Chains A and B, each alone.
Chain A
Amino acid sequence: SQQGEEDPQALSIQEGENATMNCSYKTSINNLQWYRQNSGRGLVHLILIRSNEREKHSGRLRVTLDTSKKSSSLLITASRAADTASYFCATDKGTGYSTLTFGKGTMLLVSP
């Protein structure tokens, strides 16, 4: 069954602006991961946050996790046209072998 739900479904911003995407999930997790998918390509891992972490940074990316609300957010600061892609959150229940459940994604368009 689907676990993550991203919000919004689509986001259009100008270069230099920040982009925030949200993800909600339903059951307990071991970790939550964010992936990017450029058009016609496979998904690329961006960042992982564990259930005992609240915030994580990687370059221009900032991820937060609120396990009490079962939600996460991905913030991309100072966006660039090259950030145009679909962004997916994926949850891992930690039940043994890594089994990620993906949301439907947020399509981000960054205009020059």
Chain B
Amino acid sequence: DAGVTQSPTHLIKTRGQQVTLRCSPKSGHDTVSWYQQALGQGPQFIFQYYEEEERQRGNFPDRFSGHQFPNYSSELNVNALLLGDSALYLCASSDDPSGAQYFGPGTRLTVL
């Protein structure tokens, strides 16, 4: 059983560009959450999707948007990239009512 998978592994963009990151949840998991982890910091919650709708959102601007597909996979889109958007972006899935989550390996985004 494959765990949470993310693509691409690494990505380099320039300021002002747009980026799309992809996530496939662990089999059977219907909830997907996205996190931004800056270097040396803990993950910061971006948003969570359930049944193709955004259910929760953290303190991130509207430049960050997402989507969940009927097969529960998800995309994170970031528009008008800033240097400060450089980070590891983590996807996590869950089917646990307690909120315990399974994390993917992340996508390392570098904005130049």
Please indicate whether A and B come from the same complex rather than being unrelated chains: no
What is the interface of chain A, defined by CB distance below 8 A to chain B?
Answer: none
